[in-house]
Amino acid sequence: MTFIRRVLNYYRDPGYFSELLKLALPIILQQLVFSLLNMVGVVFVGQKGDVAVAAVGLAGQIAFLLNLVHFGIVSGAAMFTAQFYGSLDIPSLRRVLGMCLALALSAAAIFFTVAQVSPEMFLRIYSKDPAVLALGVGYMRIFSWSFLFTAITSSYAMVMRSTGDVRTPTIIGSLVLVLNTLLSYALIFGKFGLPELSINGAAVATLISRAVECVALLLVIYSRKAPVAASLRELTNFDLAFSKRVLRPMVPVIFNELFWSLGVTAYAAIYGHMSTDAYAAVNIVASIEQVAFVVFNGIASATAVMVGHRIGAGREDEAHLYAGLSLGLCVVGGVTEGILLQFLKMPILSLFNVTPDVIHNASLLLIVSSTFLWVRANNMTIVVSILRAGGDTKYSLFLDGIIIWIVGVPLTAFGAFVLHLPVYWVAVCVMAEEVTKWTLGIRRYRSRKWINNLAHAK
């Protein structure tokens, strides 16, 4: 009882909850809209059959890889911009934004080239099914045009959030997601006088929506003269010394996301080579998991800002406390959501027009997902909100980018191709990585070695 009373006393800090809600709620609402509409999009595609679901899921792997590289770039930049904003250094914030844009656009150009020049070679990493490859190539070539718009939007949006302005990108992003869903429906099925493009309609809808989102966000930023409304001169006003200062802790974040995303892609390749049905089930569950994770995405994003601001202002004890409070919330929330997901899974799965085998596998995969939901939520908070906000990017690289290759990928491949386990037991092998990360991550949080003041470092 004494331990419980001590824990509850920590949560009586009114400043923590008021700031968390202010920052997290807009992000949670946007993520909820995004995840629900993404699931609706998978339902739309699912009306075209198992092959269509697998093709879109596999073709989307290139965007998944790019999005994580972008996330590494922008979250690496955000750990600086949050601390610079906390110390009221706007010129340095804008210089970091400029570096972020340059790196994000360069990555987008590389992935765009791969998608246009050799899409089939990329897709063969995941599947040998000719029907899946035929559908996936056309989808990828159209979809990849959105990469350049996404690079600009993600850079500005993340830096805006690091200054505490989460509402602007949330509102614009949510409205654009609604547009994307309506366009997807119209273009997949040929409604409202538009042509019927099947799954390619979803790719066209995404391209149009990303372009609209980018233009709208830039118009609002520069018309309001927001802290991120940097001129071209301000965006390029960084010298070699400043670049080294920013890139030194930022590069491990980029490699972190690159190695982790390649590991997750390896998981996708393992599932894809097991069978098309197995990958279709995994893709359906992934769309449901996105909805389950919206609360934790909001908590993680808000905690990164809160912790970064406090470290930049020299309030390190408070940063450590707030990080711990968020970890506790993720444990309680993860267990609660996991239980709810088991009650709701069959009504949700009934929405997908796929074979009974796919539904059966998806149902069992959701048991695995529910069981480990709180562990994965904690890991995301440790990596994104605590280690990166504190500038501890080398340990973050080890925890998130290396362990997946030491533990997760070898064990999963062994389970799938040596033991020939069903897809849901292979998913348990994946979770071994998450348990290892959590054990080491909690130890690192408690050590306080992750707290580094980047705003005042030279």
Q: Taking the mean position of all CA atoms in its chain, how far away is CA 82? A: 19
Identify whether 456 is part of a domain: no
Q: How far apart are CA 156 and CA 235, in angstroms?
A: 12
Percent share of the chain, pLDDT over 70: 91
- Token pair recorded at residue 259: 């190695």
Name the one residue in this structure whose structure tokens are 């197995």. Answer: 278
pLDDT of residue 49: 62
Identify whether 185 is part of a domain: yes
pLDDT digits (tens, 9 = 90+) for 246-256: 777 777 877 88
Identify whether 159 is part of a domain: yes
pLDDT digits (tens, 9 = 90+) for 35-46: 666 666 666 666
Q: Which residues are CB-neighbours of 304 under 8 A, at least 6 positions away?
A: 75, 78, 79, 82, 162, 384, 385, 388, 389
Number of helical H runs and strand E runs in the chain: 21, 0
Percent share of the chain, pLDDT over 90: 21
Identify whether 283 is part of a domain: yes
Residue 1 has pLDDT above 70, yes or no: no
pLDDT of residue 60: 73
pLDDT digits (tens, 9 = 90+) for 96-125: 888 888 889 998 999 999 888 888 888 787
Q: How far apart are CA 423 and CA 427, in angstroms?
A: 6
Domain total of the chain: 1
Q: How far apart are CA 396 and CA 258, in angstroms?
A: 12
Name the one residue in this structure whose structure tokens are 């509409």. Answer: 37
- Read off the pTM: 0.69
pLDDT digits (tens, 9 = 90+) for 380-416: 999 888 888 887 888 988 998 899 999 999 999 999 9
Name the one residue in this structure whose structure tokens are 């992750």. Answer: 450
pLDDT digits (tens, 9 = 90+) for 422-441: 988 999 999 999 999 999 99
Identify whether 119 is part of a domain: yes
Residue 378 has pLDDT above 90, yes or no: yes
pLDDT of residue 46: 61
Give CA torsion, residues 109, 112, 118, 124, to 10 deg: 120
| Residue from 271, 294, 297 nearest 384 by CA | 297
Residue 54 has pLDDT above 60, yes or no: yes
Angle formed by the axes of helices 316-349 and 14-46, to 10°? 30
Identify whether 455 is part of a domain: no
pLDDT of residue 457: 54
- Token pair recorded at residue 409: 């990928």
| DSSP string of 152-193, one letter each residue | HHHHHHHHHHHTT--HHHHHHHHHHHHHHHHHHHHHHHT-TT
pLDDT of residue 178: 84
Mean of pLDDT values over 6-28:
75
pLDDT of residue 152: 92
Q: How far apart are CA 458 and CA 454, in angstroms?
A: 8
| Residue from 156, 170, 155 nearest 22 by CA | 170
Domain extent at residue 149:
2-447
Q: How far apart are CA 253 and CA 261, in angstroms?
A: 12
Q: Taking the mean position of all CA atoms in its chain, how far away is CA 357? A: 29
- Asked if residues 16 and 243 have their Cβ atoms less than 8 Å apart, the reply is no
Q: Taking the mean position of all CA atoms in its chain, how far away is CA 44? A: 22
| DSSP string of 94-117, one letter each residue | HHHHHHHHHHHHHHHHHHHHHHHH
Q: Tell me the Ramachandran region of residue 375: left when phi exceeds 0, alpha when psi lies from -120 to 50, beta otherwise.
A: alpha
Identify whether 74 is part of a domain: yes
Identify whether 50 is part of a domain: yes
**Based on the number of CB atoms within 10 Å of its own CB, is 161 exposed (0-12), middle (13-18) or buried (19 or more)?**
buried
Mean of pLDDT values over 35-62:
67
Name the one residue in this structure whose structure tokens are 């690159």. Answer: 258
Q: What are phi and psi of 125, to 5 degrees?
A: -65, -35
The enclosing H or E element of 252 equals: helix 240-274
